[in-house]
Amino acid sequence: MTTETNTSSCCGTGSCGSGTATDVQIHGTDVTTVYKVSGMTCGHCEGAVSQEISALDGVTAVTAVAKTGEVTVSSTAPLDEEAVRAAIDEAGYELVGQA
């Protein structure tokens, strides 16, 4: 599993913005979905969201980008949006929807 994060700074609160989820694309055997997440402002935020989503069954890669509020998730099958929402909530952020 690959997790990319930017470790430039930390907001210190764990909740600093808003976002929305994006489209679903199938690449080979993986499904790629882009979500919009609100509250991410720094590398710490990206890491927290990536860590929680990475723990979901079937997730093979997560890339969170605070600047755009987008989180790209690759998985072996489509993920349950409520499970993704719960993981993002656990990290202290809010799932806006698919990008």
Residue the block writes with tokens 């927290």: 48
pLDDT value of residue 10: 45
Ranges of residues in the chain whose predicted pLDDT is under 70: 1-28
pLDDT value of residue 42: 97
How far is residue 25's CA from residue 91's CA, in Å, rounded to a whole number?
Answer: 25
pLDDT value of residue 26: 54
Nearest to residue 14, comparing CAs of 38, 31, 33, 30?
Answer: 38
pLDDT value of residue 20: 41
Domains of the chain and CATH, by start? 2-7+16-98 (3.30.70.100)
